[in-house]
């Protein structure tokens, strides 16, 4: 499960100071010393019981213009600071099952009951409310290809709650959790890794009953554009051909092959997918085999 961190003692800190000090020192959530520094700053921000309310009111008065431009996530996420050094601070709102927004949007909107890992490290602490509940599992990413339906050899660790002041480090491609709503509205604070490599790393949605990979939801804008470009122009097909053969990320090669197969005529579709069966990566071969069977 995520590493439980004892929040270090220290003063109450405001958002501007925390952001400035993180910007100055940088953030590397794979490094123990950097995590320790981040933990102290995040704990100081968590002790500040006024900063978030003031920030929310200020943003409401500004009609959320900055949030709409900068926030790449859902309305559940409130962006606090995005750094040029490859990380950001955010607040997450976790509604209870009795809240109107839960009834209107459904549990999937808030990732409740959706077991998943993460393709990045992040540090989190409970800021307000009882906190969401999680069933925690671990798996060994080095033993996994990433194929859909592949067993993960999950190890259940525990069920616990992210209460106020509790702090945890989620480890990329190791910790899996299935979240449940809190008893009442809760808020968490996160320091998130945002390196350029992250969009190219797969995330897994997990089938807990079977203990297997159910989906890989990560998709970059370039992969979506490929699907459109092959329909619009021959240049788009040329780019897709290049990606299918030479792109360093297996998922992108597979999506380029799928794009080409979608516009191939007659037996051409099968020929495109059969080429993918010779790819060096098991994920690409498996995807193409499943598409051929459809």
CATH number at residue 185: 2.60.120.10
Residue 62 is predicted with a pLDDT of 63
Q: Which of 256-260, 264-268, 270-274, 276-280 has the lowest mean pLDDT?
A: 264-268
Same-domain check for residues 14 and 142: yes
Same-domain check for residues 181 and 239: no
Q: Which of 184-188, 221-225, 281-285 has the lowest mean pLDDT?
A: 221-225
Residue 61 is predicted with a pLDDT of 61
Of 181, 215, 249, the residue that ends a domain is 215
Same-domain check for residues 41 and 184: yes
Same-domain check for residues 72 and 138: yes
Question: What mean pLDDT comes out for the span 213-221?
Answer: 92
Instruction: Tell me if residue 169 falls in helix, strand or coil.
Output: strand
CA–CA–CA angle 202, 206, 212 (5° rounding): 100
Q: Where are the beta strands (DSSP E) in the chain?
A: 3-5, 77-83, 87-94, 122-128, 133-138, 155-161, 167-170, 175-180, 186-193, 205-207, 212-215
Tally the C-alpha atoms within 13 A of residue 104's C-alpha that lie toward its C-beta: 4
H or E element in which residue 260 lies: helix 250-263
Same-domain check for residues 183 and 264: no
Question: What mean pLDDT comes out for the span 52-77?
Answer: 64
Rounded Cα distance, 46 and 54, in Å: 14
pLDDT, tens only, 69-108: 444 555 688 999 999 888 999 999 999 999 999 999 899 9
Same-domain check for residues 225 and 211: no
User: Does residue 67 register a pLDDT over 60?
Assistant: no
Of 166, 181, 215, the residue that ends a domain is 215
Q: What is the pTM of this model?
A: 0.86
Same-domain check for residues 147 and 55: yes
Residue 66 is predicted with a pLDDT of 52
Same-domain check for residues 96 and 130: yes
Of 94, 95, 89, 107, the C-alpha closest to 45 is 89
Q: Which residue has the tokens 């839960």?
A: 102
Same-domain check for residues 211 and 285: no
Which 8-state DSSP code applies to residue 116?
B
Residue 220 is predicted with a pLDDT of 87
Same-domain check for residues 180 and 195: yes
Residue 124 is predicted with a pLDDT of 97
Same-domain check for residues 191 and 266: no
Of 215, 244, 278, the residue that ends a domain is 215
Q: Please report which confidence band the pLDDT of residue 58 belongs to, taking 50, 70 and 90 as the band edges.
A: confident
Same-domain check for residues 66 and 156: yes
The CA radius of gyration of the chain, in Å to the nearest whole number, is: 21
Which one is predicted more confidently, 227 or 115? 115
The total number of structural domains that make up the chain: 2
Residue 231: which domain range? Answer: 221-293
User: Does residue 230 register a pLDDT over 70?
Assistant: yes
Where does residue 121 rank: exposed (0-12), middle (13-18), buried (19+ CB within 10 A)?
A: buried
| Residue-averaged pLDDT of the chain | 92
User: Does residue 64 register a pLDDT over 70?
Assistant: no
Q: Please report which confidence band the pLDDT of residue 68 belongs to, taking 50, 70 and 90 as the band edges.
A: very low
Q: Which of 52-56, 135-139, 258-262, 265-269 has the lowest mean pLDDT?
A: 52-56
């Amino acid at each position: 499960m995520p590493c439980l961190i004892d929040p270090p003692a220290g003063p109450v800190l405001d958002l501007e100071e925390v952001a400035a000090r993180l910007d100055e020192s940088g953030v590397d959530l794979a490094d123990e010393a950097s995590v320790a520094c981040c933990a102290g700053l995040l704990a100081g921000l968590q002790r500040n019981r006024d900063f978030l309310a003031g920030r929310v009111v200020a943003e409401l008065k500004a009609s959320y213009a900055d949030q709409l431009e900068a926030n790449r996530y859902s309305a559940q996420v409130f962006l606090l600071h995005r750094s040029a050094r490859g990380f950001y601070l955010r607040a997450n709102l976790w509604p209870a099952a009795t809240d109107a927004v839960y009834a209107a949007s459904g549990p999937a909107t808030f990732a409740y009951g959706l077991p998943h890992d993460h393709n990045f490290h992040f540090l989190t602490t409970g800021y307000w409310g009882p906190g969401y509940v999680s069933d925690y599992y671990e798996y060994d990413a080095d033993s996994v290809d990433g194929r859909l339906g592949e067993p993960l050899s999950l190890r259940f660790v525990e069920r616990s709650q992210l209460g106020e002041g509790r702090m945890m480090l989620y480890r990329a491609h190791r910790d899996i959790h299935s979240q449940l709503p809190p008893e009442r509205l809760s808020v968490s604070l996160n320091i998130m890794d945002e390196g350029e490599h992250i969009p190219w790393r797969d995330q897994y949605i997990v089938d807990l009953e079977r203990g297997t990979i159910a989906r890989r939801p990560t998709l970059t804008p370039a992969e979506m554009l490929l699907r459109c470009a092959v329909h619009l122009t021959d240049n788009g097909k040329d780019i897709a051909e290049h990606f299918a053969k030479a792109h360093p990320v297996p998922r992108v090669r597979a999506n380029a092959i799928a794009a080409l197969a979608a516009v191939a005529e007659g037996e051409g579709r099968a020929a495109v997918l059969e080429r993918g069966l010779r790819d060096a990566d098991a994920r690409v071969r498996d995807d193409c085999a499943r598409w051929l069977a459809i």
